[in-house]
Chain A
Amino acid sequence: MFSILRSIWLTFLHAFHKRETVGYPEKKPYLPPRYRGRIVLTRDSEGNERCVACNLCAAACPVDCISLQATEDENGRRYPEFFRINFSRCIFCGLCEEACPTYAIQLTPDFELGEYDRQSMVYEKEHLLISGEGKYHGYNFYKNAGVDMGVKAKGEGENEEPTVDLKSLLK
């Protein structure tokens, strides 16, 4: 009996509590920088595409919404000929971001992807590619890689010993 009256009273007190609802379209909620929203392709600090078309993101994707075709430029540097994400399938799990060895594919806090046309949900490379570096600044895969792809000469990369000429007798 007392507990019934008490719960009525406690419910009444909620009239003076702050409302939990966020008036969304007018008032945007704060989303942390690592929120998993719209997927972008980033560039390195020199403005080149980071993506090396290794297909690891497409392999990791549980719903197979990423499709890409690798090709090479004149230096032998791999890049995607096309890169397509179907956002009507994407579940924003972030596994592509985790799989990416070059920090190229990243998820952003933008979640407002509504479209009237289903075909508009398919993003091509020009829609995905942004001009900045995203969350990881100063990282350039080819400066850390051993191979020379026209970005840096062999042995001149970061954390890399200078090359040793094994055929020289003077060593």
Chain B
Amino acid sequence: MEYIFIIAGVLLIVLTIAAGLIWVERRLLALWQDRYGPNRVGPFGLFQVLADMIKIFFKEDWIPPFADKAVFVIAPGILMISILLTFAIIPFTDSFFVLDSNIGLLFFLGNSSLGVYSIVLGGWASNNKYSLLGSIRASAQMLTYEVFMGLSLMGVVMMSDSFNLREIVEAQRGMWFVFPQFIGFVVFLIAGVAETHRTPFDIPEAEGELVAGYHSEYSGMKFGMFFVGEYLGVTLISTLIVTLFFGGWLGPSFLPPAFWFFFKTAFFICFFVLLRASLPRPRYDQLMDFGWKILLPLVLLNILVTGAIILYLQ
């Protein structure tokens, strides 16, 4: 019974944060662009999200006649499910988590690969050239970035000797992994941005080139699921960065562990928004070049050096 409460609690918290992020992002982007952003609905425009939700539920949920209906409907769900499932393995504190799995990290990598299906199928089922181009880009980008996203975490796994996220956090009691694994952290951050299709790596959407990329044909709540999925992804990557590199819930004991976890996560979420506010989108081939020619050798080198040092110290 308690188990169900925890699952419901995690779902509630995560979905509320993801929806709230729409407001946070708009306000923060506005702050960095010397504007105000939404500030009319409720205090500081906080109810803007509610207003948008009501709006999006009442919009016509249109399926184009030329679309592959079944796949078109399923696609946004896959994204939501694959991301929400991953939250099961995040240890928010040492006692508040859904699943204490000994393959937690692998579960995350597997689920994030499944997330690509959503985008590829969504673009394919839309039966639209722009959507298809977007999903082709997405699949190529994901293939590239999945490779060294996984590899960038291997240093952490080697140092903590575990795939279990709770044990990885416990292993950081002495020192956060961001210091010994700085290269791993930077590569994971970049791969995380690419994983969630956020600017500067929003090439699958690229509204200047592809209308809206893979979700051009989506409307109503199906679009809303892609949209919230993006913010869920941002939250997920932020929580993972915190868990893997910044000591999760660990922090000075004058504040509860949950606070430290959410504080660190909020910091990285804001950093994601800052990246969007400041960086332009690279070209498709530049992204590929950067991935295969710079990040992959870098991360392999990182694994080599980490492994060598661990062996030497034994």
Contact = CB atoms under 8 A, between A and B. Distances in A.
Given A4-B279, A7-B279, A17 B34 contact: yes
A15 interface: yes
A18 B33 CA distance: 10
B36 interface: yes
Contacts of B277: 11
Chain B interface helix/strand/loop/mixed: helix
Interface residues of A, number: 14
B31 interface: yes
B35 A20 contact: yes
Interface of B: 31-36, 274-275, 277-279
Contacts of B34: 14, 17-21
A11 B36 contact: no
24 contacts: A4-B279, A7-B278, A7-B279, A8-B274, A8-B275, A8-B278, A8-B279, A10-B278, A11-B32, A11-B274, A11-B277, A11-B278, A12-B274, A12-B278, A14-B31, A15-B31, A15-B32, A17-B34, A18-B34, A19-B34, A19-B35, A20-B34, A21-B34, A21-B36
Contacts of B279: 4, 7-8
A58 to B, nearest CB: 41
Nearest to B33: A14
A8 B31 CA distance: 14
Contacts, number: 32
A20 to B, nearest CB: 5
A23 interface: yes
Interface string A1-35: 00010011011101101111101000000000000
Contacts of A14: 31-34
Nearest to A25: B40
A4 B278 CA distance: 9
Contacts of A7: 278-279
A104 to B, nearest CB: 41
Nearest to B39: A23
A15 to B, nearest CB: 5
A10 B274 CA distance: 10
Contacts of B278: 7-8, 10-12
B192 to A, nearest CB: 16
A12 B32 contact: yes
Contacts of A18: 34
A55 B64 CA distance: 55
